[in-house]
């Protein structure tokens, strides 16, 4: 029986809910009643037939309930655990080189331009709008080394109502594009300034992340300083790890005394239960065990892994090691900013592993749906607030119409909710995403901030 307390209900919806729990990759609730309170939190999830009773307990008007249409469902908003907002301008291009050359030839020159706040404003506004329309309710962003532009990204996410982790990138080593780096002292001081100023804005949904780019672009001293900053201020941490074999080799040369790539981050206190590391394609089982021990998470970025020919992450093995895992688009190494694309590439990658070894247990679409939602919230340590539909969590949700007029999906006959979800994941796009809610606030259709 729901607990009334003094909650004011601001929104009630009746229809099909699909979401994940730790026990069930896909849970379908048909004819459910979901209420959201004025703080944007889920106040109740009950059966539709309880409408009269609920309306009395919570004091809302039963005729004001939003009835979902046939072919519609609510699902949790998707969580992009790794996206470079600063690389959005060239997404869909420049995919003809492996990682290290790609960084030097395309990425660093573009990121250098974010000294210009006008350019930053253009790119960051577009990426926030696009990802929201694509159903990304939470994004974990890399910005650039520029503090003011990184603060602007936080402001833009807040203005459009997206939940976001934002990182000012740290790098005190760059032998190729020599002007795109900081001194160790600058990197440390600017990280402090970024954190302090972002927190002082009191944006309710935006948090700073300590962001060493990756081991090859940081000295060990800087890594250790950043680990200390994160620890002393209980902050999130993000970086890259073991994406490409040439990179792994370079790390061995640059850090000859360390046991493994994972070991370097661990020694610098950069592996915590608030850490998310992108890729991890080439991690050993021992390294995965260290992730498990420290509570650090991985972000699986399958489009990028394929597009830059980096490797294929064995997600099944990561899950067997009980390492927290979410999905990431990794724009612009990944060419699509859509989490639906990440879902499809994750399924394809798993099938490639099964082609190579028929004993490999292919991921199911239900499992990948969970990675895109609940898994992402766990990877970002935000699962107390978001990731699925639970009383007390924030209402972060997509209203999906699988048969949206003018949309990409033709339904020949009525289908059950599980089939509707599978069709949306494989065939759908933003034309099927009728509304997006973050913390109870409708953010799509987009509002002009
Ligand atoms: N490793 C270090 N920086 C980057 C980046 O910007 N993108 C990707 N995919 N990998 C990286
Ligand atoms: Fe990345």
Would you say the CB of residue 243 lies under 6 angstroms from ligand 1? yes
Ligand 2: distance of its center to the CA of 84 in Å? 6
Q: For 157-216, write each residue's pLDDT tens digit.
A: 999 999 999 999 999 999 999 999 999 999 999 999 999 999 999 999 999 999 999 999
- Nearest CA residue ID for atom 9, ligand 1: 333
Per-residue exposure over 356-365, b if at least 16 CB sit within 10 Å of its own CB, e if not: eeeebeebeb
Ligand 1: distance of its center to the CA of 352 in Å? 23
Q: What is the pLDDT of residue 7?
A: 84
* Ligand with minimal distance to 81 CA: 2
329-229-178 Cα angle (round to 5): 65
Ligand 1: distance of its center to the CA of 247 in Å? 10
Would you say the CB of residue 55 lies under 6 angstroms from ligand 1? no
240 Cα nearest atom in ligand 1: 1
Which residues lie across from 436 on neighbouring strands? 398, 444
* Ligand 1 pocket test, candidate residues 108, 298, 330, 345, most atoms within 8 A of CB: 330
Ligand 1: distance of its center to the CA of 214 in Å? 8
Axis-axis angle for helices 184-200, 147-160 (nearest 10): 30
* Ligand with minimal distance to 310 CA: 1
* Ligand 1 pocket test, candidate residues 89, 95, 214, most atoms within 8 A of CB: 214
Ligand 2: distance of its center to the CA of 403 in Å? 34
Q: What is the pLDDT of residue 3?
A: 57
| Residue 419 CA to its chain's centroid (Å) | 25
Would you say the CB of residue 82 lies under 6 angstroms from ligand 1? no
CB 327 within 8 Å of CB 299: yes
CB 270 within 8 Å of CB 226: yes
Residues with CB under 5 A from ligand 2 (ion): 278, 330
107 Cα nearest atom in ligand 1: 6
Tell me the CA distances in angstroms from 441 to 129, 165, 280, 412, one per residue in order: 15, 18, 35, 34
The span from the CA of 446 to the CA of 80, in Å, is: 19
* Ligand 1 pocket test, candidate residues 84, 240, 298, most atoms within 8 A of CB: 240
Would you say the CB of residue 330 lies under 6 angstroms from ligand 1? yes
- Nearest CA residue ID for atom 3, ligand 1: 213
Would you say the CB of residue 41 lies under 6 angstroms from ligand 1? no
* Ligand 1 pocket test, candidate residues 242, 243, 331, most atoms within 8 A of CB: 243
Per-residue HEC secondary structure of 296-348 comes to CEEEECHHHHHHCCCCCCCHHHHHHCCCCEEECCCCCCCCCCCHHHHHHHHHH
In the chain, where are the structural domains located? 9-76+388-444, 78-379
308 Cα nearest atom in ligand 1: 9
Q: What is the pLDDT of residue 5?
A: 56
Closest CA relative to residue 331, chosen from 102, 127, 30: 127
Would you say the CB of residue 103 lies under 6 angstroms from ligand 1? yes
- Nearest CA residue ID for atom 11, ligand 1: 240
CB 390 within 8 Å of CB 17: no
Q: How many CB atoms lie within 10 A of CB 269?
A: 19
Choosing among 2.30.40.10, 2.60.40.10, 3.40.50.300, 2.40.50.100, the CATH entry for 9-76+388-444 is: 2.30.40.10
333 Cα nearest atom in ligand 1: 9
CATH of the domain spanning 78-379? 3.20.20.140
- Nearest CA residue ID for atom 8, ligand 1: 333
pLDDT in tens, the chain (449 residues): 555 556 899 999 999 999 999 999 999 999 999 999 999 999 999 999 999 999 999 999 999 999 999 999 999 999 999 999 999 999 999 999 999 999 999 999 999 999 999 999 999 999 999 999 999 999 999 999 999 999 999 999 999 999 999 999 999 999 999 999 999 999 999 999 999 999 999 999 999 999 999 999 999 999 999 999 999 999 999 999 999 999 999 999 999 999 999 999 999 999 999 999 999 999 999 999 999 999 999 999 999 999 999 999 999 999 999 999 999 999 999 999 999 999 999 999 999 999 999 999 999 999 999 999 999 999 999 999 999 999 999 999 999 999 999 999 999 999 999 999 999 999 999 999 999 999 999 999 998 77
Residue linked to tokens 């790098």: 171
């Amino acid at each position: 029986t729901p607990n009334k307390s003094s909650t004011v209900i601001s929104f009630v919806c009746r229809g099909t809910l699909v979401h994940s729990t730790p026990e069930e990759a896909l849970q379908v609730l048909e004819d459910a009643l979901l209420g959201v309170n004025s703080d944007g939190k889920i106040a109740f999830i009950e059966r539709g037939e309880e409408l009269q009773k609920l309306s009395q307990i919570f004091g809302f008007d039963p005729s004001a309930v939003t009835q979902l249409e046939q072919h519609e469902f609510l699902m949790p908003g998707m969580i992009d655990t790794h996206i470079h907002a600063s690389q959005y301008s060239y997404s869909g291009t420049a995919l003809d080189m492996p990682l290290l050359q790609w960084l030097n030839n395309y990425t660093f020159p573009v990121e250098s331009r974010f000294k210009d706040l006008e350019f930053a404003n253009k790119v960051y506004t577009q990426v926030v709008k696009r990802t929201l329309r694509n159903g990304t309710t939470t994004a974990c962003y890399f910005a650039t080394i520029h503090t003011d532009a990184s603060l602007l990204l936080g402001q833009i996410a807040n203005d459009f109502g997206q939940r976001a982790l934002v990182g000012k990138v740290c790098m005190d080593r760059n032998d190729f594009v020599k002007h795109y780096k900081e001194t160790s002292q600058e990197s440390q001081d600017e990280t402090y300034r970024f954190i302090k100023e972002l927190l002082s804005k009191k944006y309710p949904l935006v948090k700073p992340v300590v962001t060493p780019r990756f081991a090859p672009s940081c000295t060990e001293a800087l890594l250790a300083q950043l680990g200390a900053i994160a620890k002393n201020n209980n902050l999130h941490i993000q970086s890259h790890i073991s994406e490409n074999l040439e990179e792994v080799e370079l790390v061995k040369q640059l850090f000859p005394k360390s046991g493994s790539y994972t070991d370097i981050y661990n020694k610098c206190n950069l592996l915590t239960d608030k850490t998310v590391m992108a890729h991890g394609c080439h991690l050993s089982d021992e390294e995965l065990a260290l992730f498990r021990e420290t509570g650090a998470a991985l972000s699986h970025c399958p489009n990028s892994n394929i597009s830059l020919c980096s490797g294929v992450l064995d997600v099944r093995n990561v899950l067997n090691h009980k390492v927290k895992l979410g999905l990431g688009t990794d724009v612009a190494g990944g060419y699509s900013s859509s989490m639906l694309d990440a879902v499809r590439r994750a399924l394809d990658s798993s099938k490639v592993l099964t082609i190579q070894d028929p004993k490999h247990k292919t991921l199911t679409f239900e499992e990948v749906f969970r990675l895109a939602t609940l898994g992402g919230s766990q990877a970002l340590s935000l699962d107390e607030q978001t990731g699925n539909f639970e009383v007390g969590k924030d209402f972060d949700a997509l209203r999906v119409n699988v048969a949206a007029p003018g949309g990409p999906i033709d339904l020949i006959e009525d289908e059950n909710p599980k089939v509707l979800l599978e069709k949306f994941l494989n065939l759908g796009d933003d034309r099927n995403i009728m509304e997006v809610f973050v913390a109870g606030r409708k953010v799509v259709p987009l509002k002009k901030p």
